[in-house]
A and B are shown apart, each in its own frame.
Chain A
């Protein structure tokens, strides 16, 4: 069974640009969550999607947005990039129920110059 796949794995952007990250969950998983990981703040919840609807949202500015497609694949977008957005962005999927047992991808490492 294939795991969670995130693309791209690495990317470099400049301030003011925007970026779109993609996540393909484990087959059959309908919940997809996104987290930002930085050395200073650790893992912070961005948002969760379930059946194409945003179910939870963390405390991030509106520049951070996401969506989920009918095949459960998800994308997140960050507009008007700032230096502080440099981080590892992790996607996680989960199966039936809200068990909190998340299966993480390897992440997309974003560097903003």
Chain B
């Protein structure tokens, strides 16, 4: 069974304090790993797709990396507007289409 585990469940940072969120996965065959951001009362918003170990993607203060067993979302000098729940998801080779298995998320709070 495909499993995605995110840690920590919650993270409090001061503005400017860099940190990393972890997503570990156990799947039969990885087709892609995704990061989404979800604000309260909203649906998740796509951030990144990673396909193979060693790949990195960047967007503003966020950088996502991928290894064969886990992915990290690095947040550099975060701002209060980065506060949200960050979700990791995997897409596997066994399933055609857009079926994703999500982790439980990391709730990030950035204080000014």
Report which of B45, B89, B103, B104 forms a contact with A100, defined as CB distance below 8 A. B89
Q: Which residues of B contact A58 (CB under 8 A)?
A: 99
Contact B100 A45 (CB under 8 A): yes
Q: Does A105 contact B (CB under 8 A)?
A: yes
Q: Which of B89-112 contact A (CB under 8 A)?
A: 89, 91, 95-105
Interchain CB contact under 8 A, A42 and B102: yes
Contacts of A98 in B (CB 8 A): 91, 96-98
The DSSP consensus for interface residues of chain A is strand
CB distance from A52 to the nearest CB of B (A): 14
Q: Please state if A42 and B100 are interface contacts (CB–CB under 8 Å).
A: no
B29 within 8 A of partner (CB): no
A-B pairs with CB below 8 Å: how many?
Answer: 70
Residue from B49, B96, B102 in contact with A43 in the complex, judged by beta carbons closer than 8 Å: B102
CB of B104 within 8 A of CB of A42, answer yes
Give how many A residues have a beta carbon under 8 Å from the other chain's beta carbons.
26
- Are A33 and B43 also in contact (CB < 8 A) when A100-B34, A101-B49 are? no
> Does B31 belong to the interface (CB within 8 Å)?
yes
For the complex, give the distance between the alpha carbons of A61 and B88 in Å: 25
Number of interface residues of B (CB under 8 A): 25
Cβ of A104: which chain B residues have Cβ within 8 Å of it? 42-45
B46: A residues at CB distance < 8 A: 101-103
- Docked Cα-Cα span, A55 to B91, in Å, equals 14
Q: Does B80 contact A (CB under 8 A)?
A: no
A90 contacts B98, CB within 8 Å?
Answer: no
A75 within 8 A of partner (CB): no
Question: Other CB < 8 Å A-B pairs besides A35-B102, A45-B100, 19 of them?
Answer: A33-B98, A33-B99, A42-B103, A42-B104, A42-B105, A50-B97, A55-B97, A55-B99, A56-B98, A99-B98, A100-B32, A100-B34, A100-B49, A100-B89, A102-B36, A102-B44, A102-B98, A104-B45, A106-B42
5 contacts between A and B (CB under 8 A): A56-B96, A98-B96, A102-B46, A104-B45, A105-B43
